[in-house]
Amino acid sequence: MHTVPRLKIFLPYLVLLAFTLVVVQPLWQAQMLCTDDGFYHINKALVLEETLLAGHFPARWMPQMAWGYGYPHFNYYAPLASFGLIGLHQLGFTYPLAFHLLLSLCVWLAGVGMFRFVREWWGETAGLAAGVAYLTAPYFAFDIVIRGALAETVALIWPPWIFFFLHRALHAGPRSEFSLAAVLSLAGLLFTHNTSALAVAPFTGAYVLFLVWFPSSNGRGAGGEGERVASLWPRLFHGGTLLALGLALAAGFWLPALGERNLVQSDRLLVPPIFTYYTNFLSVRELLAWPRFEDPLLVNPSPEKGLGALAVGLAALGFSANLVRRRHISVSIFFGFFLAAFALLTLPFSRLVWDTVPLIEFIQFPWRLLGPGAFCAAVLAGGCVQVWPKRSAWVAGALMLLLTYGHLGWWYARYCGPMEEITLARTVEYERATGTIGTTAKGEFLPTTVRVFPDDTSIADALMRGEQPAYVSGLPENTPLVIENADVLAYRATMTLTAPAQLVFKQFYFPGWQATLNGQAVAITPTPDFGFISVSVPVGVNTVAFNFGNTPLRTLGELVSWATALILLAAGVWIAKGKQPPFGSVAEEPLSARAGLLLFLCGLALAAARPLLIERVPNWVHHTVFDGESVGAAQNPLRLSFQGGLQLYGFDVDTRSIPGNSAVDAALYVALPEPALRHFWPVMYLRDSAGRDWTHPQAFIPPRWHKEPPPTYLWPADRYAQWARRVGPAPGAPPGEYELWFEVIDRENGANQSILDENGNALQPQWSLGTISIGRPTEPFALEPLTRTHTRFGPITLLGFDELPVQLNAGDSFNLSWHWRSENVTATDVLAQVQWVNANNEVVAEVELEPANHYGTSQWQIGDEWRGQHTLTAPAALPDGAYTLRVAVPGESGSQTLGALAISAPERIFAPPPFEQVSGAQFSGVGELAGYTLTRTAESLQLTLVWKATATPAQRYSVFVHLGDEANVLAQSVAQPANHQRPTPGWLAGEYIVDTHTLALNAVPAGNYTLYVGLFNPVNGERAAASGPGAGADSRVRLTEITFP
């Protein structure tokens, strides 16, 4: 007879479980999630488990990390999530399965916590709606299926539970189990994830003040004003005590983590552009992203980081409904305010807050505030049941189905392969393969004593083989060494020395390490550069021991934690002996059994529909835009074929006009119709009309919203991928029009993969994605030239210049990059004059140049700093000798030396050298192909061209030789004349240049073919106009016919 009431108690939790099963299905595949951080979390848990099983608690130093040299990981990184993973592993689950199981459990527990909390305000139906809004939140999905951020995912459980326990504790008074639970949950958050605790702490403190100031909001009647004021201080003391006890209970972790920050290289953590807050703001489009769809054929989906338009819209609706119904208006205002605050702090205009508030930079990513933001949005979304209070269960059910289906597009994953157990050997191997240190992004917990990371891999190699590493070095050869305890954290060995030695123990020194010699403490001297532990050992039989222990600050933190635990234990006994005050819920009528059962069945039905219907039949949330011929998502369709088989289907460029200190996001949609065993890679450039490169040095980095695809050799043949890059101009780039180019290279050897024509011939190495208009920066540049000068020439100052060559051949070109500042406004454009000065201080050549390309000084504003780039060519007629390059400004006094250059003049031939065949073809503005000699072997053709210069070209032309027919090129050679030794700007009229090219014939089938030659400008691909014997309309000169074999 009690079955139904008891079942009714559990119904809300079963409903939440059913909806959890809808979204966590990617975690229940027989494959490991392919995430950013998943393997790191597993690896750090495994090493922690090894340390704990060796009898070390608390475990702060991980001896197997950092390639086996040790790492104070858990002195700074909260360990609770790793403990959860270890616990599941100890129950018999493999680490990958335990990882997936723990993430699934987090989703359900977060939903349950939200249900318990919101139920306090608006009833069980509102609690269920809020629970589903939270457990399906896009950011929750992003943390799990994209980042694999275990610690932060566990941390998302805590806020609703903390707020629930605080609410009940401040209602029931100090003598309630909820006070204990509030303290434990606060400490749990601190022990789980550093940055989440930092983000949530002010929010939690504000909530305590809210409950103190609005006693009617915690379930009690308001009473009179006098009664409210009289009880203010006791409530404030109670709430403050709970917060203080939560901090004290976790002091064993956070006190040394903060107090010993100066002992490690934490500055490595805040390295732009990936790990700095100012490069990780969101756009409004990302923050309020519309529900997305999953494309099953896209290799690398990049779900937006955001709250989602659906969640924010329902939060706004719930907020409005509560205002209209006058239901806990203060609660709605509180969570509405913090929702807005968290959302706004993820946007760029909040930069001032991030620049000035202490410690906030250690949150790293503003989008991490989406976690507490999703919490606030879910609370308010629960208030939507007030839209139709009499049918709150129906409203809640509709909200839950809408939220789950609407957010489902975020809950899809990619996989790295079958679940295989992780071992210590694989952990060390993974750390080396990824180039990471101690399972952290940048080795930010390396002790400051480590100035250079060792390149000796012997310890890591031994750990990977399962052998005992040789931790001791520095002893004389053949010294007997008896290891009495091989535990690195309690190492002890005996040795017999015939001469004194400086013993090195290959663990990084970090405060807490202690050494004893024959039972007596001895001083540790860190080795230079590597920072290894080192002690002096005298002649004779010696026993040396190394132990890792505490520092005074760690001891203090642990004492505070243990003392707090004893206080809580005593409080628990006191509470248990007392009479518990009844807690009358302020909630509406509880969920009926019928409504609860119906919601449970709806959740199960949706969970079944996902694999059976949603993922089999194209629908709004699951469909593809790729048909093998085009990508519907591409804003600019474009079909190009590349060497190696890569196909381009289109591209996106998010904007065509940017300030000089901004960037564009460009995306390419590509596929490999046939699998390729090569690793292709996109490269993008910004160039001006002269072909000069103005690309920011970090243009190779993807935008922060983009999820990089795996290497191309792993791409399935029936899928497509998105490559995206954030491309901006170099600092100081003058305003103007620039061309955005891209090329594809083989990452293994850097070889360009040419774009092919319809016949499979190499067409060109790069392709333009259009023009980008670059304007003035939003704030003036502060340029940092490699060589500083600060030489003033009237209205402008030469700030400095970048590296210049010291030796050149006549005709060689080089890039002059200089930096200028405006001191005064000029009515006319000022030009700078670059002079070549010989050893006799005579100006032998000079050229006038714009300080900033195509941006005259008359357009400069006072304080502007601009960069100019110019291609200079050593004059072809310069004789051998030493020259000085200097700059002056006509009409202004003084000059500035840029550098000394040694010029070598090439050996020139003015008499025609021998050749077998006469050509006589003319190339406009360059010269004449006087003749050639052709030598043929079974494997190659060797073509020796003889050029006669008719001028000194300003352009740097390359020579191409084609073997093929009118439509196809079967073999080719492309190079500057004389194997790059005689560039065309170094030619003098009347001289001859001998230029040899070799064409491999191994891929040429039998047939009759023609040999062609020509010149082209490698910057823009334009060919030099050809005329005379053999010249064709395509400016190729036909030399001879060749038959194979």
| Distance separating alpha carbons of residues 339 and 382, to the nearest angstrom | 14
Whether 455 is covered by a domain: the verdict is no
For residue 780, give every residue at least 6 positions away whose Cβ sits within 8 Å of its Cβ, in sequence order, or none.
863, 864, 865
pLDDT of res. 1 = 40
Nearest to 629 by CA among 644, 621, 618, 639: 639
Looking at residue 250, its amino acid is A
Claim to verify: residue 126 and residue 160 sit in the same structural domain: yes
Per residue in 545-573, pLDDT (tens digit) is 999 999 999 999 999 999 999 999 999 99
Q: Are residues 267 and 126 in the same domain?
A: yes
What CATH number is given to the structural domain containing 500? 2.60.40
Question: Of residues 901 and 441, which shows the higher confidence score?
Answer: 901
Q: Mean of the pLDDT values across residues 654-680?
A: 95
pLDDT digits (tens, 9 = 90+) for 192-211: 999 999 999 999 999 999 99
Same structural domain for residues 259 and 339? yes
Which residues form the domain of 891? 798-904
End position of a domain, from candidates 904, 925, 957: 904
| Beta bridge partner(s), residue 494 | 482, 543
Residues 304, 181 share a domain: yes
**147 and 109 belong to one structural domain:** yes
Q: At what angle do helices 158-172 and 177-190 cross, to 10 degrees?
A: 150
Instruction: Tell me the C-alpha distance between 505 and 525, whole Å.
Output: 11
User: Are both 321 and 344 inside the same structural domain?
Assistant: yes
pLDDT at 700: 79
Over residues 958-963, the mean pLDDT reads: 95
Strand order across the beta sheet in which 501-508 lies: 472-473, 501-508, 532-537
Neighbouring C-beta atoms of residue 352, cutoff 10 Å:
8
Average confidence (pLDDT) over 229-235? 77
The residue among 879, 904, 929 that closes a domain is 904
| 977-1014 per-position pLDDT tens digit | 999 999 999 999 999 999 999 999 887 888 899 999 99
pLDDT of residue 214: 82
How crowded is the C-beta side of 77, counted as CA atoms within 13 Å?
30
Mean per-residue pLDDT, 239-251 = 97
Residue 108 confidence (pLDDT) above 50: yes
Which residue reads 């170094």 in tokens? Answer: 986
Which residue blocks in 454-551 are alpha helix, DSSP H? 458-465
Q: Does one domain contain both 237 and 115?
A: yes
Q: Is pLDDT of 888 > 90? A: yes
State both tokens at 685.
């450039």
Please give the structure tokens belonging to residue 786: 């490699």
Does 994 lie in the same domain as 869? no
**Looking at this protein, which amino acid is placed at residue 973?**
S
Burial label for 471, CB within 10 Å (0-12, 13-18, 19+), is buried
Distance CA 616, CA 85 (A): 34
CA distance 345 to 369: 8
823 and 771, same domain (yes or no): no
CA 658, CA 651: separation in Å to the nearest integer? 18
Which whole number is the average pLDDT over 19-32?
Answer: 96
Q: Are residues 136 and 258 both part of a single domain?
A: yes
Answer whether residue 456 is part of any domain: no
Residue 525 lies in a domain: yes
Q: Which residue has the higher pLDDT, 5 or 61?
A: 61
Q: How many degrees, rounded to 5, is the angle at CA 1010 between CA 1007 and CA 1014?
A: 150
Compare 592 and 403 and report the one with higher pLDDT.
Answer: 403
53-80 mean pLDDT: 96
How far is the C-alpha of 1016 from the C-alpha of 1009, rounded, in Å? 22
- The answer as to whether 701 is a domain residue is yes
Report how far residue 170's alpha carbon sits from residue 990's, in angstroms, rounded to the nearest whole number. Answer: 98
Give the whole-angstrom CA distance, residue 670 versus residue 684: 15
User: Residue 845 belongs to a domain with what CATH number?
Assistant: 2.60.40.10
pLDDT of residue 219 exceeding 50: no
Same domain, 641 and 719: yes
**755, 873: one domain:** no
Beta strands 807-809 and 796-801, pairing class: unpaired
Percentage of the residues of the chain whose pLDDT score is greater than 90: 83
User: DSSP 3-state assignment of 497?
Assistant: strand
Name the band, by pLDDT with cuts 50, 70 and 90, for residue 539. very high
> Whose CA is closest to 853, among 986, 729, 741?
729
Is residue 115's pLDDT more than 50?
Answer: yes
Strand partners, 720: 298, 671
- What letter does residue 91 receive in the DSSP assignment? T
Higher pLDDT, 336 or 1022: 336
832 Cβ contact partners less than 8 Å away, ≥ 6 residues apart: 793, 798, 818, 848, 849, 850, 851, 887, 888, 889
Helix (H) or strand (E) holding 343: helix 329-344
pLDDT band at 226 (very low <50, low <70, confident <90, very high): low
Whether 927 maps to a domain, the answer reads yes
**Which are the contacts of 971, defined by CB distance < 8 A and separation ≥ 6?**
941, 962, 963, 964, 999, 1000, 1001, 1003, 1004
Q: Is residue 894 part of a domain?
A: yes
Q: Which residues contact 448 (CB under 8 A, 6 or more apart)?
A: 262, 263, 264, 265
Q: Choose the most confident range, by mean pLDDT, from 212-226, 380-394, 395-409, 470-484.
A: 395-409
Mean pLDDT of 369-378: 98
Whether 222 shows a pLDDT value over 50: the answer reads no
Does 973 reside within a domain? yes
**Dist CA 867 CA 733 (whole Å):** 6
Pairwise CA distance, residues 138 & 305, whole Å: 7
Number of Cβ atoms within 10 Å of the Cβ of 498: 10
Whole-structure pTM value: 0.88
Positive or negative torsion for Cα 432, 437, 442, 446: negative
Q: For 568-591, how does the pLDDT look when each residue is reduced to its tens digit (9 = 90+)?
A: 999 999 988 876 655 554 455 578
Residue for token digits 């010149």?
A: 1015
Is-cis flag, bond preceding 58, omega within 30?
A: yes
Which element (helix H / strand E) includes 429? Answer: helix 424-434
pLDDT at 362: 85
Edge-to-edge strand list for the sheet holding 1007-1016: 969-975, 958-964, 1007-1016, 1037-1044
Domain CATH for 739: 2.60.40.3880
Residue 232 in 3-state DSSP?
helix
C-alpha span between 574 and 579 (Å, rounded): 10
pLDDT of 580 reads 61
pLDDT digits (tens, 9 = 90+) for 840-869: 999 999 999 999 999 999 999 999 999 999
Q: Supply the pLDDT for residue 968.
A: 84
Between 456 and 218, the higher pLDDT residue: 456
Q: 651: closest CA among 771, 770, 772?
A: 770
Number of domains in the chain: 5
Average pLDDT, the chain: 93
What helix, strand, coil percent values describe the chain, rounded to 5? 35, 25, 35
- 710, 744, 775: which is the final residue of a domain? 775
Examine residue 945 and state whether it is found in any structural domain, yes or no: yes
